[in-house]
């Protein structure tokens, strides 16, 4: 028997894989939570805008999350009905949307965990998307070394956007009182 046959016939210990899978899925869950909280802030802001006399009817209240972000961007754009109050949130919205590609991968991707020789994980997420009216296989890869930075940036941009949207809702509420 040669060395390759001996290695391929051996069962590797499961413990490192189980630990890595647990940690990668915990990271994935924390990221999804940040997206969910931000999406709630966007929905609340759109709802508050829609209740404003004269301008509220111009605000779309779509069902899909991506469309909600688009509706908010349109409402606070320079030509939008809430530009004056929402201009302070426009940059924060764009900054948060730099993470747009990550959300569908986290929420809908089929994950596979790989380990390197030191037990550090890499999460490979594959998901189906429609691009230009055609089915496209998408791939997002996050290493353990990158994961904390991704989560920190996602959390930071979410907090800034959520805070600015809270201020916007407060300003709209004060105008209606």
The one-character DSSP state at 104 is H
Q: Are strands 134-143 and 121-131 parallel, antiparallel or unpaired?
A: antiparallel
The one-character DSSP state at 59 is S
pLDDT at residue 164 in the model: 98
Cα–Cα distance measured from residue 133 to residue 129, given in angstroms and rounded to the nearest whole number: 9
pLDDT at residue 30 in the model: 98
For the chain, percent of residues with pLDDT exceeding 70: 94
In tens, the pLDDT along 7-41 reads 566 787 889 999 999 999 999 999 999 999 999 99
Mean pLDDT of 134-146: 95
pLDDT at residue 6 in the model: 54
In tens, the pLDDT along 48-68 reads 999 999 999 999 999 999 999
The answer to whether 55 and 68 have CB atoms below 8 angstroms apart is no
- 174 or 172, higher pLDDT: 172
* 104 C-beta neighbours (distance < 10 Å), count: 17
Scanning the structure block, which residue is given the tokens 């469309």?
67
- Which candidate, 81, 26, 24, places its Cα nearest to that of 49? 81
The answer to whether 123 and 113 have CB atoms below 8 angstroms apart is yes
Mean pLDDT over all residues of the chain? Answer: 92
In tens, the pLDDT along 93-122 reads 999 999 999 999 999 999 999 999 898 999
Mean pLDDT of 128-156: 95
Cα–Cα distance measured from residue 171 to residue 36, given in angstroms and rounded to the nearest whole number: 23
pLDDT at residue 177 in the model: 53
Q: How many residues does the chain have?
A: 177
pLDDT at residue 106 in the model: 97
- Gyration radius (Cα) of the chain, Å: 21
pLDDT at residue 5 in the model: 46
Q: What are phi and psi of 61, to 5 degrees?
A: -120, 75
């Amino acid at each position: 028997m040669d060395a390759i046959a001996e290695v391929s016939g051996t069962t590797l210990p499961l413990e490192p894989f189980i630990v890595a899978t647990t940690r990668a899925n915990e990271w994935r869950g924390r990221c999804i939570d940040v997206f969910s909280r931000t999406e709630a802030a966007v929905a609340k802001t759109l709802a508050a805008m829609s209740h404003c006399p004269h301008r509220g009817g111009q605000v779309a209240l779509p069902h899909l999350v991506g469309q909600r972000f688009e509706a908010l961007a349109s409402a606070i754009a320079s030509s939008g009905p809430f530009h004056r109050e929402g201009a302070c949130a426009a940059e924060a919205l764009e900054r948060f949307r730099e993470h747009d590609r990550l959300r569908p991968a986290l929420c809908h991707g089929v994950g596979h965990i790989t380990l390197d020789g030191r037990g550090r994980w890499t999460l490979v997420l594959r998901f189906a998307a429609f691009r230009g009216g055609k089915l496209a296989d998408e791939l997002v890869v996050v290493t353990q070394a990158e994961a904390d930075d991704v989560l920190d940036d996602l959390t930071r941009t979410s907090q800034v956007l959520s805070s600015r949207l809270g201020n916007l809702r407060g300003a709209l509420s004060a105008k209606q009182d």
